Structure formats: C-alpha cells, structure tokens
Structure 1
C-alpha cells in the first residue's frame, strides 16, 4: 500500500526526489487510496493524525531498512529517496506477489542484520 503511494508520488515529481512521510501521507493519491480501499477517514482529518502517523511511517522505515529507500534525517524529520525503484515498482504493480515481496525484503533485512552484528564496530552500508 505504501509502496503504491511512494511510486505514485515519485512518478508525479521525479524519481530522484527526497520526501518525508508527510509528503506521502498528504498526497492526493494516498488520500483517495486510503479512503477508498481501507474505508478509513480522510488523511487530512486531525482526529486520525496519530493513526496515520504510524500507518505511513512504519512501512517507510521498513522499506529503508531493506534498502529499497535511502534515509536521511534533517531537523528531526526523516526523509526518504528511492534507491531500488524496480523492487518498489514490483511491489506496486503486483499485489498477488505480496508474499514473495515480503520474503525478498525479509531476506534483505536478515542479511543486513547479520552483517551489522558481525561488523558492529565498522560503518558499512548493506545495499
């Protein structure tokens, strides 16, 4: 779901753009998608702020941990940039392949975790 929103957002703008969870959260695509598919209240309603904060931020963090997105922090705000558009687009286009996609991300996370545990004193990037 969040992969869909990210693909739509970067396609509307540019693939090389840094974005925050709020950019995705308040995009017109996310507003329509969340309301229509999940039957949830509008993403712009103040009452649903806490729910949507987690709804958008947690998947973005998972995608960053898996190397699909790059992440940087500026002034306490996390910004993301697509680093593996092919995998992100695959997740976006192939809903029926969701289990395979999650397995691929799980393998990437396992490799990164293992690597970092073994090399905890050095700074390396996984992907």
Structure 2
C-alpha cells in the first residue's frame, strides 16, 4: 500500500497501529491500495465495538496486515468474538475486491501460480483460471 494511504490509517487508528520498532517506523500494510477502504471499514468496526463495550473488550492492536493467497489477512491481539467475526468477514470480502484499485474483482492465478484478487483491468494478461 502506498505510504500516503498507510499514513491515513495509522493517523486515524493510532492505538491499533503502533510504531513497528523503537525508531518510530510506521506500521506496514503489505497489500495493494485497493483494500484501503476495506481495511478502514474493518478498523472503524473494531474501534466502535471496543468503545461500545466500555472496557470489557481488550483493545485491538494489529500485528500484521497483508495479502496472502489473494485474500486480506489481518493479524491482531485483543478483541472478542464479534471482532473475530468482523475480521473473517473482511477476509472473505477481500476475495471480491481488486487489491490494486478497489473495484469488483475475482480470485485468479497467473501462469506462475501466484494467486491474486483482481479486476479485469488489473488482471494478468495470461492467467491459468479465474474462480
């Protein structure tokens, strides 16, 4: 994800995305720009759940946010079963959103068997199949 989009998420949810190390380096988002809005919506949902539970839910801190096997992976500590469900829903939803631009996409593999979720515009020219 471009640094400017990552910075927006870090600024909007500072408790969820702490600096990575003692140097103060910002939390890394290892995915395409197209999932920015999905991650933002997930973080907003998590934040609301934590606020609405008046301290009965452990605050959520992201450990890693990345693309893996064409889907969004959001690894975290804290939370509750509602937050777990929200993270699962974001993962499932990511398979329908192009990770490059945010338009409707589908799960596919390129000729080297690299999995991705892409729209027709960002799909590889040659691909093995599309689900």
TM-score bucket (shorter structure): 0.3 to 0.5
**Which has the larger share of helix?**
1
**Which has the larger share of strand?**
2
Q: TM-score, normalised by structure 1?
A: 0.35
Larger RCO (CA within 8 A; separation ≥ 6): 1
